[in-house]
Amino acid sequence: MDEATTSERERLSERDTDAPDAGETGMSGVAPHETLPPKPSSLKPPLSKQDICLHLGDDYDRHLGAIMPPIFQNTLFTRKTANHGYTYTRVANPTIEIAERKIAALEGAEAARCFSSGMAAISAALMSVMEKDCHIVCPLNVYPPVKGFLEVYMKRFGVETTFVSGTDVGEIEAALRPNTRAIYLETPLSNVFTLQDLRAIAALAKAHGVTTIADNTWATPLYQNPIAFGIDIVVHSATKYMGGHSDILAGVMVGSEARMERVTHEERGLFGAAMDPHQAWLLIRGLRTLPLRMRQHQESAMRIAAHLETHPLVEQVLYPGLPSHPQHALARSQMSGYTGLISFVPRGTPEQIVSFVKGLALFEEGPSWGGFESLVNTPGLGIDEETSRRTGMPQRLVRLSIGLEDADALTADIDQALAGMLRGRA
Ligand SMILES: Cc1ncc(COP(=O)(O)O)c(C=O)c1O
Q: What is the pLDDT of residue 295?
A: 98
Ligand 1 centroid distance, CA of 194 (Å): 17
Q: How far is the CA of 119 from the centre of ligand 1 (A)?
A: 6
Separation of CA 237 and ligand 1 centre (Å)? 5
CA-nearest residue for atom 9, ligand 1, is 118
Q: Say how far apart CA 372 and CA 48 lie, in whole Å.
A: 24
Return the ligand 1 atom nearest residue 251 CA: 10
How far, in Å, is the centroid of ligand 1 from the Cα of 241? 11
Atom of ligand 1 minimally distant from the CA of 238: 10
Pocket residues: Cβ below 6 A from ligand 1: 117-119, 143, 186, 190, 215, 217, 237, 239, 249, 251, 368
pLDDT reported for residue 15: 40
Measured between alpha carbons, how far is residue 341 from residues 289, 351, 359, 402 in Å?
18, 23, 20, 6
pLDDT by residue (tens digit) across 87-103?
A: 999 999 999 999 999 99
Structural domain spans, the chain: 1-96+255-288, 118-238, 290-422
What was the pLDDT predicted at 267?
A: 98
118-238 and 290-422 share one fold: no
State the distance from the centre of ligand 1 to the C-alpha of 118, rounded, in angstroms: 5
Which atom of ligand 1 is nearest the CA belonging to 368?
14
pLDDT 10s digit of each residue in the chain, 426 long?
Answer: 343 444 554 444 444 333 333 334 455 565 555 555 555 556 677 899 999 999 999 999 888 999 999 999 999 999 999 888 999 999 999 999 999 999 999 999 999 999 999 999 999 999 999 999 999 999 999 999 999 999 999 999 999 999 999 999 999 999 999 999 999 999 999 999 999 999 999 999 999 999 999 999 999 999 999 999 999 999 999 999 999 999 999 999 999 999 999 999 999 999 999 999 999 999 999 999 999 999 999 999 999 999 999 999 999 999 999 999 999 999 999 999 999 999 999 999 999 999 999 999 999 999 999 999 999 999 999 899 999 999 999 999 999 999 999 999 999 999 999 999 988 654
User: Which CATH number fits the domain 290-422, given the four candidates 1.20.1630.10, 3.90.1170.50, 2.60.200.20, 3.90.1150.10?
Assistant: 3.90.1150.10
Peptide bond into 145 cis (omega under 30): no
**Nearest atom of ligand 1 to the alpha carbon of 120:** 11
CA separation for the pair 360, 364 (Å, rounded): 8
The string of pLDDT tens digits covering residues 302-351 is: 999 999 999 999 999 999 999 999 999 999 999 999 999 999 999 999 99
Q: Which CATH class is domain 118-238?
A: alpha beta
Kindly report the pTM of this predicted structure. 0.92
Full strand arrangement of the beta sheet holding 180-186 = 111-115, 251-255, 233-237, 211-215, 180-186, 135-139, 160-164
- CA–CA gap between residue 147 and residue 343 (Å, rounded): 21
Euclidean distance between the first and final Cα of the chain, in Å? 57
Tell how far the Cα of 215 is from the centroid of ligand 1, in angstroms. 9
